């Protein structure tokens, strides 16, 4: 898997360099504006950008046809893709917790560190792990179209429940009354479940794919 990740890093070295510069610029801007809490949120977008770039690079070079007959299992090839998402999510969580512990920014939400870490892991992976099986099944282009449709469904869902303010208020009340450690564990649990199901689905789809 290290070889596959090395190949991906080399293939994207220029794009990654640009991405790092953009991240630094955005970071500098958020610090200057006194909105440090926005900084970790960038890690929600980074996995999505990375996956998009990797998919584009792989499709252009038709690299699956080269690596599948090589000394790799198909599931390892899929794992190498997820590994990027997970590495970025962990960096994002560590970064967010570090900010919370050391930045002493009043703009940061008053949340315990484990809740911030759990939320970052969830937010940084959730979109990618929904997108990845779709990309394996339908290819990048069709998957993006399906994803746009999903955005509309989610938007319609929130528009619908947004009208019912009493229901939302009662849910928030219940959540606030819960122990924050339980909430943190629940978020980690949901994150692990989503990632696990997504990975199993992607492996199953990729195992049957012909090139």
Partner 1 sequence: MQNAIELRGLKKRLGNFVLGPIDLTVPRGCIVGYIGENGAGKSTTIKLLLHLMFPDEGEIRLLGKDVQEFTPQMKKDIAYVFDDLYLPEDMTLNNVQNFHRKLYGQAWQDKTFADLVARFNLPDSKSIKHFSRGMKMQLGLALALSHGARLLLLDEATSGLDPVIRDDVLDILLDYIQNENHTVFVSSHILSDLEKVADYIAFIHKGQLLFMETKDDLMNQYGIASLSEEQLEELDDMAIVGKRPHQFGVEVMLKRELVPSDFELEKVSIEDIMVYMIKGKRK
Contact residues for partner 1, defined by CB under 8 A: 2-4, 6-7, 10-11, 13-14, 57-58, 60-66, 68-73, 76, 208, 210-211
Q: In terms of CB distance, is 11 or 126 closer to partner 1? A: 11
Q: Alpha carbon of 74 to those of 65, 158, 202: distances in Å?
A: 11, 38, 10
Q: In terms of CB distance, is 167 or 207 closer to partner 1? A: 207
Q: In terms of CB distance, is 122 or 206 closer to partner 1? A: 206
Nearest Cα to Cα of residue 51 among 70, 26, 78: 78
Q: In terms of CB distance, is 35 or 137 closer to partner 1? A: 137
Q: How far is the CB of 2 from partner 1 (least distance, A)?
A: 5
Residue 133 to residue 139: CA distance in whole angstroms: 9
Q: How far is the CB of 90 from partner 1 (least distance, A)?
A: 22
Q: How far is the CB of 69 from partner 1 (least distance, A)?
A: 4
Residue 129 to residue 191: CA distance in whole angstroms: 10
Q: How far is the CB of 71 from partner 1 (least distance, A)?
A: 4
Q: How many CB atoms lie within 10 A of CB 76?
A: 15
Q: How far is the CB of 5 from partner 1 (least distance, A)?
A: 9
Q: How many CB atoms lie within 10 A of CB 14?
A: 8
175 torsion bin: left (phi>0), alpha (psi -120 to 50), beta (else): alpha
Q: In terms of CB distance, is 181 or 209 closer to partner 1? A: 209
Q: In terms of CB distance, is 174 or 208 closer to partner 1? A: 208
Residue 120 to residue 100: CA distance in whole angstroms: 12
CA atoms within 13 A on the CB side of 50: 29
CA dihedral of 189, 191, 196, 198, whole degrees rounded to 10: 150
Q: How far is the CB of 64 from partner 1 (least distance, A)?
A: 8
């Amino acid at each position: 898997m290290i070889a596959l990740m090395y190949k991906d890093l080399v293939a994207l070295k220029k794009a990654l360099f640009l991405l790092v510069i953009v991240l630094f610029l955005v970071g500098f801007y958020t610090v200057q504006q006194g909105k440090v809490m926005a900084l970790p949120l960038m890690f929600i977008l980074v996995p999505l950008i990375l996956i998009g770039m990797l998919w584009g690079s792989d499709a252009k070079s038709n690299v699956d046809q080269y690596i599948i007959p090589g000394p790799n299992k198909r599931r390892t090839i899929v794992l190498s893709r997820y590994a990027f998402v997970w590495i970025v999510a962990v960096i994002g969580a560590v970064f967010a917790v570090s900010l919370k512990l050391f930045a002493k920014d009043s703009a940061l939400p008053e949340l315990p560190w484990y809740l911030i870490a759990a939320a970052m892991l969830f937010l940084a992976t959730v979109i990618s792990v929904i997108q990845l099986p779709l990309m394996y099944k339908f290819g990048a282009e069709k998957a993006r179209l399906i994803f746009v449709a999903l955005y509309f469904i989610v938007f319609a869902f929130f528009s619908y429940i947004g009208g019912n303010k009493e229901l939302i208020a009662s849910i928030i009340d219940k959540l606030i009354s819960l122990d924050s450690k339980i909430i943190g564990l629940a978020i980690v649990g949901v994150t692990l479940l989503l990632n696990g199901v997504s990975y199993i689905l992607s492996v199953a789809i990729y195992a049957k794919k012909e090139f």
